[in-house]
Amino acid sequence: MPPKDPATPISRRRLLNEASIGFGSLALNYLLAQEAHAQNAQNFRKRKELPSALSPKPTMFPAKANAVIFLFMHGGPSHVDTFDYKPMLATYNGKTTGNGRAVLASPYQFLRRGGSGLPIAEIFPELATCSDDMCLIHSIYSTTGNHTPACLEMNTGKILPGFASMGSWVTYGLGTQNQNLPAYVVLHDGMPSGGSLNWNNGYLPAVYQGNEFHSQGSPIRNLQPAWKPKVTQQRAILDMLADVNMDHLDSHTGDSDLEARIAAYELAFRMQMQAPKVVNVDLESKEIKNFYGLDRPETQNFGRKCLLARRLVQNGVRFVEIFHGGWDAHNNLGQEHRRRGVEIDKPIAALLKDLKQSGLLDTTLVVWAGEFGRTPAAQGNGRDHHAAAHTVWMAGGGVKGGIKVGQTDELGEQIASAKHPIRDIHATILQALGIDNHLLTFLHNGRLQRLTDTGGSVIPGVLA
């Protein structure tokens, strides 16, 4: 049969007859697309309806605080040169103590400002104006005077690695109020002793580990993809990836790292929409940025962290930890502590005042601590590590302001009142958040683990 001439006209009947299969294909494709769209919408609804490990959880009892900003001064700031005023150091300056070392007078005067009259070292002139909101706790001791295990103890309750950090425990116990941002954020420039073990999730599910943000450049690295997909394209890719990961998870139940990775993909997708605005401190007014010290090179770095911390808790982040180093003053203590004081004084005072004027200080617990204190005796023209006594202060979140709790002896060498280990600080923080430290547990290796191990005690007099 000779081939048909393509130019030869065909009848309508013949056209419909030969094209009928094509019409069916078009209809089938349309129906399949509609079904796929409906399935994707159903899957999305299911994802939205599934409870997240970080969904908000009720407190165990009524609490004033619902967020924490933890200011960690790693290196070991000297308590007797910052917040534990010891005038007898000047009286005994140069005299030898029982351990054979000579007493070293503080190189600083102490200021008394506000109605409380709490004495605060002159290296913190701005912070001294906030003394009516601060509770100075002078009765804290650490297990060790070595940096790494002491940092781990303050952050995880244990001197050994592998245990869950305080921020991980808090988010495990309470979840977070904003599902479009991480529950637990860490701000640092340069690793502290112990590195990321200070904000690790330990044996808790990996979803509770701290998320590192940066104070320079983009706080969240690699948040936006290198290519610019449409939201629908990205959603489809994540759905496919989630299906593959969920199938793999079915055969590897209990793999918390994989579960956390799946959750991280979803969180990153949501963060792309909200996080850029939240973390962009440049959206703040010039007055606010200058208030935090962003206009001065010596305060700019830490001031940016403090301002970012305020923006994060304002937007529902549960736990923010800021690390600040350089406090290991074995030599040149007068010069080195003054330099560190300048770096943090204005930013922390601005943080407290900003939180207070917005009403957020009532619900945000601010904690300042190092891993240990320093000796009243001299080590050259500095001081050595000292685990037997140091000072931690708290403000906001139900804390009694303008008071001192506990005391050290006349030289600040030993605690002269009831002694409190680090786990008591943790117990007090959990109490402020509405959590009983004895009841916040996680079964691991056949034992109910706690942040406070065998149990801590809430420090009397700190909370209202």
Per-residue pLDDT of 296-311, as tens digits, reads 999 999 999 999 999 9
Average model confidence (pLDDT) across the chain: 87
354, 214, 356: which is closest to 291 by C-alpha? 354
Contact, 112 vs 121, CB < 8 A? Answer: no
Strand partners for 393: 136, 368
Grouping H, G, I as helix, E, B as strand and the rest as coil, residue 385 is: strand
Asked whether residue 449 carries a pLDDT value surpassing 60, the answer given is yes
Q: What's the rounded Cα separation, in Å, for the pair 229 and 57?
A: 35
Asked whether residue 13 carries a pLDDT value surpassing 90, the answer given is no
pLDDT at 44: 43
Contact, 79 vs 138, CB < 8 A? Answer: yes
Q: What's the rounded Cα separation, in Å, for the pair 317 and 372?
A: 28
Between 39 and 238, the higher pLDDT residue: 238
Tell me the pLDDT tens digit for each residue of 69-88. Answer: 999 999 999 999 999 999 99
Contact, 371 vs 325, CB < 8 A? Answer: no
- On whether the pTM is more than 0.75, the answer is yes
CB neighbourhood size of 339 (10 A) = 14
Tell me the pLDDT tens digit for each residue of 395-434. Answer: 999 999 999 999 999 999 999 999 999 999 999 999 999 9
pLDDT at 41: 46
pLDDT at 232: 64
Q: What's the rounded Cα separation, in Å, for the pair 92 and 90?
A: 6
CA-based angle 222:223:226, to the nearest 5? 60
CB neighbourhood size of 48 (10 A) = 9
Asked whether residue 43 carries a pLDDT value surpassing 70, the answer given is no
Tell me the pLDDT tens digit for each residue of 192-212. Answer: 999 999 999 999 998 899 999
Extract the tokens encoding 374: 């320093």
pLDDT at 316: 96
pLDDT at 24: 61
Q: What's the rounded Cα separation, in Å, for the pair 305 and 311?
A: 10
Identify which of 24-33, 268-277, 339-348 has the greatest average pLDDT: 339-348
Share of the chain above pLDDT 90, in %: 70
- Residue 43 neighbours by CB under 8 Å, 6+ apart: 239
Share of the chain above pLDDT 70, in %: 77
Q: Is the dihedral of CA 353, 357, 360, 363 positive or negative?
A: positive
Which element (helix H / strand E) includes 444? strand 442-444
Contact, 308 vs 314, CB < 8 A? Answer: no
Extract the tokens encoding 335: 């010069």
Backbone angle region of 78, left / alpha / beta, with phi > 0 → left and psi within -120 to 50 → alpha? beta
Residue type, position 451, single letter:
L
Contact, 301 vs 346, CB < 8 A? Answer: no
Asked whether residue 50 carries a pLDDT value surpassing 50, the answer given is no
Grouping H, G, I as helix, E, B as strand and the rest as coil, residue 248 is: helix
State mean pLDDT over 105-120: 96
pLDDT at 42: 47
Tell me the pLDDT tens digit for each residue of 133-175. Answer: 999 999 999 999 999 999 999 999 999 999 999 999 999 999 9
Q: What's the rounded Cα separation, in Å, for the pair 280 and 271?
A: 13
